[in-house]
Structure formats: C-alpha cells, structure tokens
Amino acid sequence: MLLSAILIIIFIGFDQLTKYLASTQLPLNGPNVTWIPHLFEVSYHQNPGMSFGALEGQQFLFMIATIVALGVFGYLFLATDYKEKKVFSLSIVLFIAGTLGNAIDRALFGYVIDFMHFPFLDYILGNSNFYNNWADMYLSAAIVLFTLDLFIFDEKRKKAQKTHEETLQG
C-alpha cells in the first residue's frame, strides 16, 4: 500500500504541475500550440463542467460524486497488491489520482484546468473543443486497466488459486 500511496502523490503532483504550467504559460482560450502535427496540441481552458462541458455549474453534484467515488476507490485501495494484482493495483492508483487531481482544481478554482488537445480525435468525436488534462488521462487509463483486470487477470488469478487448492488436496 505504501507504493500505491507514493504513486498517487507522484501522479497528482505531475497533474497539478502541468496544470499550473498551462495556466501560467498559455493564454486563456488562446490558439492551440502544436507540438506534434495532427496528434498533440496544448491550449489553456477552464472547464466548469465535465467532458465536453456537460453539467456546467453543478459543483454540488461533482462534490457528492467525488466523495462517493473516493469512498469506493478507498475501499478498493485496501486490496492493492503489486505482487498478485499489478493491473488492479495500478488501476486503483490511477482512479484515485485522477479523481483527486480534478477535485483539487474544483475546490481551488471552481473549474478544472484542461490543456491537452488531440486533433485526430476531432475526426472520431466530431468535436474540436475536447480538451483534457493528466487527471482525465489517468481516469481513462484506469477504466481500461480495471476492465482488463476484471475480465482477464482476475479470472486467471481465480483459476490459478483453484489449481493451487486442488494440488494441495491431492
């Protein structure tokens, strides 16, 4: 669990540092700065809602959802184990870091700082106003990793445990 706590702190620190740099080095709603053509751009935006600005101004709802999510993730955090459940453990760390990273923004500013834009997604999503941040990336990765663990790795652990128990019995 110590490793998980250290990783959470590192991930939140990186998220907050990059948001600080974006907010101090880029003009608000300024033009996108291209880093990798057609793949990655940066531009500072304040998002008072969630993805695509949905639920704008619903701070109380975000606060309740954050508390509930952190309660669930905190409970799952107790089961983190990098020897037996690497993917599960990393997913929980990313869930907590992502949730707290955006919660810090909401608590301090009333909005989330977004600054990363992936132009190739415009073709998929049909929306060029989709910006995110590292906390959002952590949450997206956490969903993928948690799903992989739930449907693939957890089944393998259960089968290995069953085989081990059968071997012990005889």
pTM: 0.87
- Backbone dihedral angles phi then psi of residue 98, each to the nearest 5 degrees: -65, -45
* Residues tagged active-site: 114, 136
Total domain count for the chain? 1
Q: In terms of Cα–Cα distance, which of 92, 94, 139, 91 is closest to 114?
A: 139
| Interval 98-152: pLDDT, tens | 999 999 999 999 999 999 999 998 888 787 778 999 999 999 999 999 999 999 9
Element (H, E) at 88: helix 86-109
The CA distance from 142 to 98, in Å, is 9
Residue 115 lies in domain: 2-169
| Interval 82-94: pLDDT, tens | 888 999 999 999 9
